[in-house]
């Protein structure tokens, strides 16, 4: 009986071998197969804000402007980047000379077309402005949304920002950078809003979700049929793959660009990795492999000339937020609100070794809240906090800490002996972070600090009821996670405390008084930093801003409102011969310069070195 | 599976135990497995004395080292000694395996016995004043009837109060006709409960409830459901997780896993025991005990359960291995025990990362899991043979 | 009988209500909601944004109010949309996109594991304590103890990446399809305004084409070749170079089927290995139990050949509990197998449920969990009815 089965198995296996088709040869038909671990939930350019959607929409849609690798703003669908100099930006100033509003005049590039040949006009812009501003559309944020929009002619329009927004030209198209074709979407919008007429708010929302955001042109049923970027959409096999083809109507149609782009979706990073090794994918997406030392080494070791491994810099900034609310007992006991303690912590951890051994030498140790690629980034007067446990111990001794019988530091606070036991929270299930955590625990033990982990899945720790409630002692010590630290917008705003322009006190520090609003979750306050931040956001002169922000960075670095760990890198592979497929903290996605991506074998020239 | 040892006198019982041990000893594979298991427990318990390195000692320049040299089984992602980690991990994994199996057996046997025993005999949860059952219950329970039934009424009254509370909150979120409908439904429901609790009677087929519950639970896919449960316990608004936290402190993750695994673990046992009790309660000795005036509880504990010992032991032994594997699956999905407390499961899933670089790294924890579940299974076989002489299995 | 059945069916309603309430409560009590995920992706969201969205989606209401809303819609079979899957209805997502994939995978491995596991179990029981018995026991436990996520990756590495015998990329190869595209391609862009047929029975579609010169949309009729299928419907968009339609040919069908089978091999084997182990154990135990019973001894005593005793008398009786077990396991094939599916990149029910829980797309989770509950209750009822039909002692009234 068993023999029979064995034979049957053999036949099956052999049969299967005989069936196997030939190995992929992407360069030969000028296509590119990308592997990713996420699938866009939908491809409407309004509400969706998944990373993978931003990447795939980047291939499909062009914005008015884009960032190049150096972080310089370039025109795409706009004929030029509006500036004060060329008259595109007009500032309204009050008597004191402060800018109170700003008006930007955009010109759409002559001859800019949708993939179906229709011209891209201000009617499209107006439609997007109206839809995005409609409160029934559940967009995640309308912060810095232009207050008014005026259509001047088919190719020219003006938007007014009141209050002014420094980076308005960089985020031109109403927060999201993708403009949807009005001639396709408007009939759907009109229909949805008509049937929503007179219904309750909740029903309206539902109708708009189903009939507008869930329309077949946004989902796998049909896909976004008309696009403005280097590619147009061809096919979406739900949970399997996604195919794009060249859009010949894109104004910068590059003959050396790949003709076809296929995304394959994988549920697990491991499976994606197997597919890289098996040569089933040509390159991996920006949402795919995880940059750990082991993965980088494995991929490099098995590359065998088939593909290369790249680790581009990203805008992700890994750090510890430190609870500094003095009403929390642990904070008071450990003195976390004292800058010396925070300095002792940063001197006591070996960030250099983590970046080298655990993150494969790719991450960059950070000592600043500003991304190193930003043009306001400074190293002047910035302390590097190199690993120095002796210095930590000195700082701790100065604060009255003495090693106890078990080697853990002790001191007396209000007549009571306390031990230095520090709580450390991060996202459970994130192997790379949890590995850091175990390493730092060991580091801190060496300077007499005992660490207690309190990890939970990201849904728990990023819940408002947790992350924003350090003042209630929901987390009591360190909280490790990453912020997207965009080089452009600098993100010094993360750590301001009180906005002088508003009446509320401590606007950015989440407490019960402001409904736990704000991003300065550790509760650090520094009046000088606040005033510099406030000045900078209204300073439209680049050099003046640089000077202000350099001062702010020095304060940040000295006072350590948070403990900077490092700027992370992504990890991707690309088959040898693929050119210009890359990204960095400025471009963020490979699709941002998508029209350049091509095969060497098909005549593509290297314009951006892949890193 | 038919033992009738329980009701016999003590000397005979001891003799029987002796015989069981004799039979067990003959089962060489089971004896060998017992030895292996004993060894595993021994090295885990005495890990601090045996392990060559501290399980947390890291050396990040020497990660995923191959076995041999200083490190008998190589090193892991932080350059820690895998062999030492495995020994310490054994404490956690074996604890989880055994604790979950025992707790599951406790719950499963209790509910299974109740379900089987009361199968086909509905249990009275409340007798109303105009119920046809009133007179009979009063006669049966005599003077204790009123306070017992009074307590039941109190419980039902609070159920009604809760229903009305929920209704009021419900109604507050609606407007217009919605308010009326919400109140109609809420009050209607309350009145129905009141009618049955205080006027008629609430009679429930416990077996039906338990069995259907088990059916439905078994139909749910375990792993996503385990995730839901761990998420629930991690929710700061759900107090249970906080309570566990304050009691168990740093051992919380282990307790959570045990808790979550038990929630599913008892189902199989309960089903098996229920079937067994169904047949045992038809037997002569049950009838005899009842005729002698033993209470239901006494019959269950003293007469029926001792006869179900063999399948219970087999079930427990099989569960131990399963639980260790379930823990590793949860670790694989990132909901297991954090890596700073080593367990075979989380070692295996973290070694997954090095599957390309050092495949042996995942072999070792896998080997320990296999050894445990294999030897526990053989042990279970041996026990079954020994306890039930008729089957040679 | 009819009365009994209908009574049972009616009895299911409160049970399902209770189940749905319990599941809904559990799912809603998960920490955080998808707004938290949005916030993570977009740190610029203000507290007002968050409050606005929570209110818009009704997430600021207590769970039982949300349950009431869910229930009132579920009563008319509206289970809401799947937010993570392009706002299509959750039922469409589960039943049209996922169920079939899972059924293919799980039924194939279910059948395979029975076909392999039962004979091995019988063999092991007949030759109890032989070397072979030990070997199969050992192997079945290896199969049982090796976590499928580990085994799966190993299989992918060996048979996929190294030997390249089997694909590693999920369910279907890129570019393989059941249909072949027509050679005729559209040479225009626009929306289909109407579809009709001409006298020869050829489909004619009218496309609104944009005229650059007049800046107006002009209808243009396109006659499609005869016999073409899957051509655009009214309201679809056609674009330059797009195939006019497609057809299924024997070749394309064969290719697609071959491709599908080829992709099935590894996941089916991985999933079967665990099940084979348990069927082997069950079969062996059941047969051994029967072999030692009186009627088998009698049969032996009568001098029947061992073969006849084992295969005719003992096996028949030993199979009865196995059949019951098989019956009980059938609803399980709907569950999917989350670990296998995720390792082999198989878009099935297991991963659908898992990701809906992780991404807080709870409408999908509710549909799947309710479907499983209903399937279980239904199969229980069916089992009872079948027993009644088979066993004359049981009568329902």
Question: Distance between CA B288 and CA A46 in Å, rounded?
Answer: 76
Interchain CB contact of A221 with C (< 8 Å) = yes
Question: Distance between CA C289 and CA B176 in Å, rounded?
Answer: 67
Q: Is the pLDDT of residue C109 over 70?
A: yes
Closest by CA to C317, choosing from C122, C140, C151, C149, is C122
Report the neighbours of B using a cutoff of 3 or more CB pairs below 8 angstroms: A, C
**A-B interface: how many C-beta pairs under 8 angstroms?**
75
- Tell me what percent of the residues of chain A surpass a pLDDT of 70: 94
Closest by CA to A221, choosing from C92, B298, B247, C324, is C92
Cβ(A301)–Cβ(A314) below 8 Å: no
Question: Distance between CA C172 and CA C189 in Å, rounded?
Answer: 30
- Tell me what percent of the residues of chain C surpass a pLDDT of 70: 95
Q: Which of A126-140, A148-162, B367-381, C303-317 has the lowest mean pLDDT?
A: C303-317
pLDDT of residue A249: 92
Closest by CA to A158, choosing from A52, A74, A78, is A78
Residue of A nearest to C215 (CA): A118
Specify whether domain A316-568 bears CATH 3.40.50.720.
no
Please write the tens of the pLDDT for every residue from C355-378: 888 888 889 999 999 998 888 888
Please list the alpha-helical segments (H only) found in A44-87.
51-60
Question: Distance between CA A596 and CA C342 in Å, rounded?
Answer: 34
Residue B133 DSSP SS3? coil
Residue of C nearest to A45 (CA): C86
C contacts of B392 (beta carbons < 8 Å): 128, 288, 292
Mutate to test the interface with A, among B174, B334, B358 (most CBs of A within 10 A): B334
C contacts of A516 (beta carbons < 8 Å): 47
Determine, for residues B220 and C29 on separate chains, whether the beta-carbon distance falls below 8 Å: no
The residues spanned by each domain of chain C are 90-172+253-390, 186-247
Closest by CA to B228, choosing from B330, B133, B360, B128, is B330
A contacts of C151 (beta carbons < 8 Å): none
Please write the tens of the pLDDT for every residue from A316-370: 899 999 999 999 999 999 999 999 999 999 999 999 999 999 998 889 999 999 9
Report the neighbours of A using a cutoff of 3 or more CB pairs below 8 angstroms: B, C
Element (H, E) at A482: strand A478-484
DSSP A100-119: EEEEEEEEBPTT-B-TTSPB
* CATH 3.40.190.10 segments of chain A: 9-77+112-140+176-314+569-611
Residue of A nearest to C269 (CA): A9
- How does the average pLDDT of chain A come out, rounded? 88
Question: Distance between CA A418 and CA A409 in Å, rounded?
Answer: 8
Q: Which of A118-127, A376-385, B195-204 has the lowest mean pLDDT?
A: B195-204
pLDDT of residue C210: 82
All residue ranges of chain B with pLDDT < 50 are 1-9, 391-393
Determine, for residues C147 and B332 on separate chains, whether the beta-carbon distance falls below 8 Å: yes
Q: Which of A217-221, A223-227, C182-186 has the lowest mean pLDDT?
A: A217-221
Peptide linkage before A163 cis (omega within 30 of 0): yes
- Dihedral angle sign, alpha carbons of residues A179, A235, A41, A202: positive
Determine, for residues A225 and C237 on separate chains, whether the beta-carbon distance falls below 8 Å: yes
Determine, for residues A455 and B338 on separate chains, whether the beta-carbon distance falls below 8 Å: yes
Q: Is the pLDDT of residue C224 over 90?
A: no
List all residues 6 or more positions away from B156 whose beta carbon is below 8 Å from its beta carbon: B126, B193, B194, B197, B198, B202
Rg from Cα positions in chain C: 28
Backbone angles phi, psi at A161, to 5 degrees: -105, 120
What's this model's pTM, rounded to 2 decimal places?
Answer: 0.85
* Burial of B174: CB neighbours in 10 Å, binned 0-12, 13-18, 19+: middle
CA dihedral C352, C353, C355, C359 (to 10 degrees): 120
Query: In terms of residues, how long is chain A?
Result: 611
Closest by CA to A110, choosing from A78, A151, A150, is A78
Question: Distance between CA C97 and CA A221 in Å, rounded?
Answer: 11
Half-sphere exposure of residue B149: CA atoms within 13 angstroms, side-chain side: 25
pLDDT of residue C40: 67
Cβ(A151)–Cβ(A96) below 8 Å: no
Query: In terms of residues, how long is chain C?
Result: 397
pLDDT of residue A5: 46
Interchain CB contact of C187 with A (< 8 Å) = no
List all residues 6 or more positions away from A32 whose beta carbon is below 8 Å from its beta carbon: A26, A258, A260, A261, A262, A282, A283, A578, A581, A597, A599
The neighbour count for residue C272, using CB atoms within 10 Å, is 23
pLDDT of residue B376: 87
DSSP B248-259: HGGGHHHHHHHH
DSSP B279-295: HHTTSHHHHHHHHTT--
Cβ(B274)–Cβ(B206) below 8 Å: no
Question: Distance between CA A50 and CA C42 in Å, rounded?
Answer: 9
Domain C90-172+253-390, CATH: 1.10.3720.10
The residues spanned by each domain of chain B are 26-121+206-392, 123-204
- Dihedral angle sign, alpha carbons of residues A462, A464, A467, A468: positive
Residue of C nearest to A187 (CA): C235
Question: Distance between CA B267 and CA B214 in Å, rounded?
Answer: 6
Interchain CB contact of C351 with A (< 8 Å) = yes
List all residues 6 or more positions away from B135 whose beta carbon is below 8 Å from its beta carbon: none
Higher pLDDT, A209 or A105: A105
* Closest Cβ–Cβ partner in B63, B237, B353 for A431: B353
CATH topology of domain B26-121+206-392: MetI-like fold (1.10.3720)
B contacts of C64 (beta carbons < 8 Å): 166, 169-170
Determine, for residues A271 and C343 on separate chains, whether the beta-carbon distance falls below 8 Å: yes
Residue A93's alpha-carbon distances to A540, B189, B228, in angstroms, are 11, 66, 55
pLDDT of residue C42: 65
Determine, for residues C169 and A264 on separate chains, whether the beta-carbon distance falls below 8 Å: yes
Domain A9-77+112-140+176-314+569-611, CATH: 3.40.190.10
Specify whether domain C186-247 bears CATH 2.40.50.100.
yes
Question: Distance between CA B130 and CA B201 in Å, rounded?
Answer: 8
Residue of C nearest to B170 (CA): C65
pLDDT of residue C392: 59
Mutate to test the interface with B, among C22, C141, C355 (most CBs of B within 10 A): C141
DSSP A232-248: EEEEEETTTEEEEEE-T
DSSP A140-197: S--TT--SEEEE-SSSEEEEEESS--TTTTTSTTTSSS----HHHHHHHHHHHHHHHT
Please list the alpha-helical segments (H only) found in chain B.
10-26, 28-45, 47-50, 82-117, 134-141, 145-173, 177-194, 206-219, 222-234, 239-248, 252-280, 284-291, 296-298, 309-332, 344-351, 360-387
Interchain CB contact of A222 with C (< 8 Å) = yes
* Closest Cβ–Cβ partner in A49, A117, A483 for C210: A117
Backbone angles phi, psi at C238, to 5 degrees: -110, 150
Question: Distance between CA C310 and CA C316 in Å, rounded?
Answer: 9
Cβ(B87)–Cβ(B51) below 8 Å: yes
Interchain CB contact of C88 with A (< 8 Å) = yes
Give the minimum alpha-carbon distance from B87 to chain A in angstroms, rounded to a whole number: 19
Residue C233 DSSP SS3? coil
Residue C352's alpha-carbon distances to A481, C34, C95, C236, C339, in angstroms, are 28, 16, 11, 29, 12
pLDDT of residue B331: 78
- Total H helices, total E strands in chain C: 16, 8
Please write the tens of the pLDDT for every residue from B60-95: 888 888 888 889 899 998 899 999 999 999 999 999
Mutate to test the interface with A, among C97, C168, C186 (most CBs of A within 10 A): C168
pLDDT of residue B389: 56
* Closest Cβ–Cβ partner in C31, C83, C123 for A459: C31
Query: In terms of residues, how long is chain B?
Result: 393
C contacts of B229 (beta carbons < 8 Å): 26
Element (H, E) at C327: helix C315-329
Interchain CB contact of A388 with C (< 8 Å) = no
Backbone angles phi, psi at A563, to 5 degrees: -100, 115
Q: Which of A226-230, A396-400, B106-110, C242-246 has the lowest mean pLDDT?
A: C242-246
* Closest Cβ–Cβ partner in C30, C65, C349 for B232: C30
Q: Is the pLDDT of residue A24 over 60?
A: no
Cβ(B315)–Cβ(B267) below 8 Å: no
Interchain CB contact of A544 with C (< 8 Å) = no
Interchain CB contact of C295 with B (< 8 Å) = no
List all residues 6 or more positions away from C259 whose beta carbon is below 8 Å from its beta carbon: A19, A21, C172, C173, C176
Backbone angles phi, psi at A601, to 5 degrees: -60, -20
Complex ipTM: 0.84
Mutate to test the interface with B, among A304, A357, A466 (most CBs of B within 10 A): A357
- Tell me what percent of the residues of chain A surpass a pLDDT of 90: 54
CA C161, chain centre distance (Å): 27
Closest by CA to A136, choosing from A194, A81, A76, is A194
């Amino acid at each position: 009986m068993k023999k029979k089965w064995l034979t049957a198995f053999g036949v099956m296996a052999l049969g299967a071998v005989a069936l196997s088709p030939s190995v992929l040869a992407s360069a030969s038909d000028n296509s590119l197969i990308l592997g990713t671990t996420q699938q866009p939930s939908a491809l409407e350019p309004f509400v969706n804000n998944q990373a993978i959607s931003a990447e795939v929409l980047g291939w499909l849609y062009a914005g008015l402007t884009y960032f190049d690798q150096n972080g310089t703003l370039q025109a795409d669908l706009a004929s030029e980047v509006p500036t004060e100099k060329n008259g595109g930006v007009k500032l309204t100033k009050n008597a004191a000379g402060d800018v109170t509003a700003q008006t930007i005049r955009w010109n759409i590039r002559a001859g800019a077309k949708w993939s179906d040949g229709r011209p891209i006009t201000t009617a499209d812009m107006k439609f997007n402005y109206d839809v995005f501003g409609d409160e029934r559309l559940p967009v995640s944020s309308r912060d810095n949304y232009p207050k008014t929009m005026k259509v001047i002619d088919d190719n020219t329009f003006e938007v007014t920002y009141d209050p002014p927004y420094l980076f308005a030209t960089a985020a031109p198209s109403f927060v999201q950078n993708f403009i949807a074709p009005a001639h396709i979407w408007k009939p759907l919008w009109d229909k949805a809003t008509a049937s929503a007429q007179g219904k309750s708010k909740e029903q309206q929302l539902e109708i708009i979700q189903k009939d507008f955001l869930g329309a077949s042109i946004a989902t796998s049923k049909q896909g976004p049929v008309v696009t403005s970027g280097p590619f147009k959409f061809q096919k979406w096999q739900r949970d399997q793959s996604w195919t794009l083809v060249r859009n010949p109507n894109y104004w910068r149609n590059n003959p050396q660009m790949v003709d076809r782009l296929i995304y394959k979706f994988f549920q697990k990073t491991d499976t994606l990795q197997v597919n890289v090794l098996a040569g089933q994918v040509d390159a991996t997406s920006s949402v795919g492999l995880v940059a750990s030392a082991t993965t980088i080494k494995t991929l490099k070791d098995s590359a065998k000339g088939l593909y290369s491994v790249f680790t581009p810099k990203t805008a992700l900034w890994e750090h510890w937020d430190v609870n500094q609310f003095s009403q929390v007992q642990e904070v008071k006991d450990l003195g976390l609100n004292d800058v010396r303690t925070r300095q002792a912590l940063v001197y006591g951890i070996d960030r250099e070794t983590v970046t080298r051994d655990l993150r494969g030498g790719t991450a960059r140790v950070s000592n600043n809240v500003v991304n190193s690629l930003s043009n306001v980034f400074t190293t002047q007067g910035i302390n590097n906090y190199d690993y120095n446990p002796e210095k930590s111990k000195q700082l701790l001794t100065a604060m009255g800490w003495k090693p106890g019988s078990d080697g853990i530091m002790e001191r007396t606070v209000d007549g009571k002996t306390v031990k230095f036991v520090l709580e450390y929270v991060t996202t459970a299930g994130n192997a790379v972070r949890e590995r850091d955590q175990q390493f730092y625990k060991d580091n801190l033990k060496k300077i007499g600090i005992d660490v207690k982990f309190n990890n939970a899945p990201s849904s728990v720790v990023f819940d408002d009821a947790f992350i924003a409630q350090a003042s209630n002692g929901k987390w009591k010590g360190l909280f490790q996670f990453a912020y997207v630290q965009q080089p452009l917008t600098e993100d010094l705003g993360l750590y301001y405390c009180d906005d002088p322009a508003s009446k509320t006190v401590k606007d950015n520090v989440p407490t019960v008084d402001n409904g736990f609003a704000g991003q300065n979750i550790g509760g650090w306050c520094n009046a000088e930093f606040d005033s510099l931040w406030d000045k900078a956001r209204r300073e439209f002169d680049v050099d003046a801003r640089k000077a202000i922000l350099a001062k702010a960075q020095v304060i940040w670095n000295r006072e350590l409102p948070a403990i900077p760990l490092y700027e992370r890198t992504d990890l991707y592979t690309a088959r040898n011969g693929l050119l210009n497929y890359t990204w960095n903290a400025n471009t963020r996605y490979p699709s941002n310069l998508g029209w350049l991506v091509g095969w060497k074998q098909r005549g593509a020239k290297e314009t951006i070195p892949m890193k | 599976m038919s033992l009738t040892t329980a009701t016999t006198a003590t000397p005979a019982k001891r003799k029987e135990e002796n015989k069981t041990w004799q039979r067990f000893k003959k089962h060489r594979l089971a004896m060998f497995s017992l030895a292996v298991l004993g060894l595993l427990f021994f090295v885990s318990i005495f890990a601090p004395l045996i392990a060559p390195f501290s399980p947390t000692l890291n050396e990040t320049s020497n990660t995923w080292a191959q076995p041999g040299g200083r490190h008998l089984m190589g090193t892991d992602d932080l350059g820690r000694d895998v062999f030492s980690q495995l020994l310490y991990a054994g404490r956690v994994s074996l604890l989880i395996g055994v604790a979950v199996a025992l707790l599951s057996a406790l719950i499963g046997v209790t509910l299974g016995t109740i379900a089987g025993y009361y199968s086909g005999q509905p249990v009275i949860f409340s007798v109303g004043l105009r119920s046809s059952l009133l007179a009979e219950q009063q006669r049966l329970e005599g003077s204790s009837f009123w306070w017992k039934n009074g307590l039941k009424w109190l419980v039902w009254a609070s159920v009604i109060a809760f229903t009305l509370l929920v209704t009021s909150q419900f109604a507050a979120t609606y407007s217009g006709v919605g308010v009326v409908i919400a109140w109609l439904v809420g009050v209607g429901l309350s009145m129905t409960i009141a009618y049955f609790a205080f006027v008629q009677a609430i009679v429930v087929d416990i077996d039906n409830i338990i069995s259907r519950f088990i059916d439905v639970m078994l139909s749910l896919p375990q792993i996503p459901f385990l995730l839901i449960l761990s998420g629930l316990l991690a929710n700061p608004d759900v107090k249970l997780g906080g309570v566990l936290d304050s009691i168990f402190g740093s051992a919380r993750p282990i307790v959570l896993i045990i808790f979550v695994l038990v929630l599913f673990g008892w189902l199989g046992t309960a089903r098996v025991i229920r079937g067994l009790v169904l047949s045992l309660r038809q037997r002569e000795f049950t009838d005899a005990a009842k005729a002698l005036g033993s209470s239901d509880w006494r019959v269950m504990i003293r007469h029926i359960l001792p006869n179900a010992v063999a399948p219970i032991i087999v079930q427990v032994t099989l569960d131990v291995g399963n639980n260790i594997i379930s823990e590793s699956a949860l670790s694989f999905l990132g909901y297991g025990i954090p890596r700073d407390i080593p367990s075979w499961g989380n070692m295996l899933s973290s070694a997954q990362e090095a599957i390309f670089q050092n495949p042996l790294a995942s072999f070792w924890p896998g080997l320990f899991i296999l050894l445990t579940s294999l030897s526990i299974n053989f042990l279970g076989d041996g026990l079954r043979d020994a306890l039930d002489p008729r089957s040679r299995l | 009988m009819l009365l009994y059945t209908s009574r049972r069916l009616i009895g299911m309603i409160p049970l399902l209500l209770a189940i749905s309430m319990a599941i809904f409560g559990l799912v809603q009590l998960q920490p955080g909601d998808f707004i938290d995920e949005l916030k993570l992706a977009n740190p610029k969201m203000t507290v007002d944004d968050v409050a606005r969205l929570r209110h818009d989606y009704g997430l600021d209401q207590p769970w039982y109010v949300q349950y009431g809303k869910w229930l009132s819609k579920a009563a008319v079979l509206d289970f809401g949309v799947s937010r993570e899957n392009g706002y299509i209805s959750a039922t469409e997502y589960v039943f049209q996109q996922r169920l079939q994939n899972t059924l293919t995978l799980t039924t194939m491995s279910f059948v395979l594991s029975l076909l392999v596991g039962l004979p091995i179990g019988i063999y092991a029981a007949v030759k109890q304590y032989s070397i072979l018995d030990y070997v199969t026991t050992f192997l079945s436990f290896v199969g049982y103890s090796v976590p499928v996520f580990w085994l799966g990756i190993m299989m992918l590495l060996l048979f996929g990446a190294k030997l390249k015998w089997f694909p590693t990329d999920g369910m279907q190869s890129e570019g393989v399809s059941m249909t072949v595209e027509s050679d005729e391609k559209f040479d225009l862009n626009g929306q289909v305004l109407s579809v009709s047929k001409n006298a020869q029975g050829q489909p004619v579609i009218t496309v609104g084409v944009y005229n650059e010169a007049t800046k107006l949309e002009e209808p243009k009729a396109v006659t499609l070749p005869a016999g073409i299928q899957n051509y655009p419907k009214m309201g679809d968009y056609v674009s330059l170079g797009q195939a006019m339609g497609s057809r299924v040919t024997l070749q394309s069908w064969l290719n697609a089927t071959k491709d599908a089978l080829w992709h099935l091999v590894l996941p089916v084997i991985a999933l079967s290995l665990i099940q084979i182990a348990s069927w082997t154990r069950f079969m062996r135990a059941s047969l051994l139990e029967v072999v030692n019973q009186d009627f088998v001894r009698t049969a032996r005593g009568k001098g029947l050949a061992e073969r006849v005793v084992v295969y005719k008398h003992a096996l028949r009786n030993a199979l009865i509990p196995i059949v019951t077990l098989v019956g009980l396991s059938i609803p399980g094939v709907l569950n999917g197998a989350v670990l296998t599916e995720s390792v082999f990149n198989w878009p099935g029910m297991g991963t659908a449920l898992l990701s809906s829980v992780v991404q807080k797309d709870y409408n999908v989770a509710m549909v799947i969990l309710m479907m499983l509950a209903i399937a279980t209750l239904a199969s229980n009822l069916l089992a009872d009815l079948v027993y009644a039909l088979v066993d004359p002692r049981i009568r329902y009234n």
